[in-house]
Each structure stands twice: as structure tokens, then as C-alpha cells.
Amino acid sequence: MKITYYNDSRREILIHPATFKHGCKGSEEPIKPLEERTFILPDNTSPFIKMWDYGVDKGLQILIMPEK
């Protein structure tokens, strides 16, 4: 399964390292404002998405995890 995330914020979004440890594939580079990023999940899974806001200094972080 593919999921495309669109960053509609004005801030960069860091990708949580666990995103790739759980089997997702995609670029590890931060998602820039107004940028789309596609992640590929393992077959027969659905995405679980969580985002944290660590404030202006540390920014946003997203975790995308496949769930059966």
C-alpha cells in the first residue's frame, strides 16, 4: 500500500526513525512545507499515523507505522 502525506504546514516535518524500522519505505529527509511525500507500506497493512509538535525550536515529527 502507498500513502502520500502532504505537508500543509509552514514548518519542516522530521520523519521518526521507527517509521522505517517497522517496514515502511521512503525518503528519510524532512518533509518541507507544501511538499508531498509518498511512503510504501508492507502488503496487507494500513497506516497508523502519529504526529508530535515539539515547539518552534524542535519542530514537528511524524511516525507512520503499518498495522494489520
Residue-range domain boundaries for the chain: 2-67
63, 49 contact by CB (below 8 A) = yes
The residue type of 63 is L
pLDDT score at 53:
96
Report which of 62, 54, 48 is spatially closest to residue 6, judged by C-alpha positions: 62
- Residue bearing cell 512545507: 33
pLDDT tens-digit readout, 27-65: 999 999 999 999 999 999 999 999 999 998 889 999 999
Quick check: helix, strand or coil at residue 6? strand
pTM of the predicted model as reported, rounded to 2 decimal places = 0.87
pLDDT at 22 over 90: no
